Structure 1
């Protein structure tokens, strides 16, 4: 069996990796692509220490992970398509220049096709190759559209997270640093406050599950940082769970369970801690992971 006969199946396998990963990341609810996860871990290992000292580096960590993930998807896709097209390039038609090496020409054709530039100066001679080249262009359009949607999703998630953190910070400032003065024994007021906070936290939790890359986007201001503000929410939930009114205790229990669920997933998915790690330890680790010296 010749090496050339292996190029097409090898190219298909190589293309399938980013295609499946992209589908899981962008279109499967709760899906998490392996490429993005690997890129995030590598980038965070490299930038973790400098990010804690520099707000600028911390703010760039998430965008760098996002861009490198997109680059990995596109790079593997281009290489996979180039390998598939290489056997069909020996008899290709070339406009305005001499034919180069088969793989180089296939790589060039793959690049201009996936970017939808379509110069048309290189045309494979094989019928099957001419049929699949438009499929690569369609895939390139899909990646572009999906990437834009992904970016908007990330921005929406960050807005939700920052809004909740800012709201908690405002409550903390209004109540002198602790929730002890909140009138939680008054059902009409405690219900609206505690249940609304639990609902917003549930939304942020779902955002982290559905758009995990958002975890790596950090803020240099404590009032916008959710892990910096959650301690106040834990205090509020604990106080509600020991209130005299059973409805207030119920609401406090709902908030407490939502806090525990969020922290369990953060521990397992991002901090690589056991799910049964105490919530206080998880919150402390999360705060350290997002901390910036002097912030």
Structure 2
């Protein structure tokens, strides 16, 4: 029975570490704890809680919830590993009575002390294998803290790139480039730059899918509400006599196709063409 409970605790730890791995270093479309939490909060903010502010909180609150679940899962998993072996596999300070401090809550206390690397020493592992396992938990706790910081430092620059692209498109819309502007070397360079920016944003959605669940508002920084104008520019430039402009328009079209494919595969799942996918993206982020 002790071995079975220990294996259950180890399985919980492995599941949490697998989720951290697939969230930060090997993102996949198959879900996981982070994906479930972020999607649930996004849908709740969109359909269950009225108001723009609620939708704006979905992404940040989702990240906080995911990190909290990771930390709690690791601590609970290791506590389940320790509990069946208490008190005989641990040494207690003189002020503590071992039989009175061998409850599940004491196992959780030991786990929290170790994962937080506090090193209080009032209860410490005595058996050889536990003296190896406990430092491993400390390493996992340190890695989890580092992973959380890395996650934040990765997601927010991705958001900045997405919002900067949206603002760039808005500036172009205000400038109102004509067919003559697009039918030139400058027009080709302009479209090339947009294609490169869309490629970066597409990679961001693949590498940091959680960034999708951050609402960009209803202004000029919302890519969901401005991407349609970029498609319009590509359509106009494809008919331009300038060969460079036509080539750049084709590249921008391909970049928009890639963006729509990633959005549909990972988030929207409409199974439709690019125009329908981008319209669904706009609706999902508050557009009409």
Q: TM-score range by the shorter chain?
A: over 0.9
Residue 83 (str. 1) matches residue 84 (str. 2): no
Q: Identify the residue that residue 137 of structure 2 maps to in structure 1.
A: 136
1:209-240 deviations in Å (ceiling 9; x for gaps): 00000000112242000011101001001111
Residue 104 (str. 1) matches residue 105 (str. 2): yes
Structural mapping, 1:194-233, within 5 Å: 194-233=191-230
TM-score by length of 2: 0.92
- Which SS does the other structure have where 1:123 is aligned? strand
1:141-180 deviations in Å (ceiling 9; x for gaps): 00001100110111100110011001111111121xxx54
- Structure 1 position 48, deviation (Å): 1.6
- Structure 1 position 44, deviation (Å): 2.2
Aligned with 2:279 (options 281, 284, 294):
284
Q: Distance in 2 between matches of 1:240 and 1:86?
A: 68
| Number of matched pairs | 284
Q: Distance in 1 between matches of 2:172 and 2:287?
A: 23
> Any conservation in 1 of the 2:79–2:111 contact (CA below 8 Å)?
yes
> Any conservation in 2 of the 1:89–1:124 contact (CA below 8 Å)?
no
1:78-135 deviations in Å (ceiling 9; x for gaps): 1211111122222222233333234222111111211222222211232211221111
> Any conservation in 2 of the 1:24–1:32 contact (CA below 8 Å)?
no
TM-score by length of 1: 0.90
Q: Distance in 2 between matches of 1:60 and 1:97?
A: 45
The alignment's C-alpha RMSD in Å is 1.9
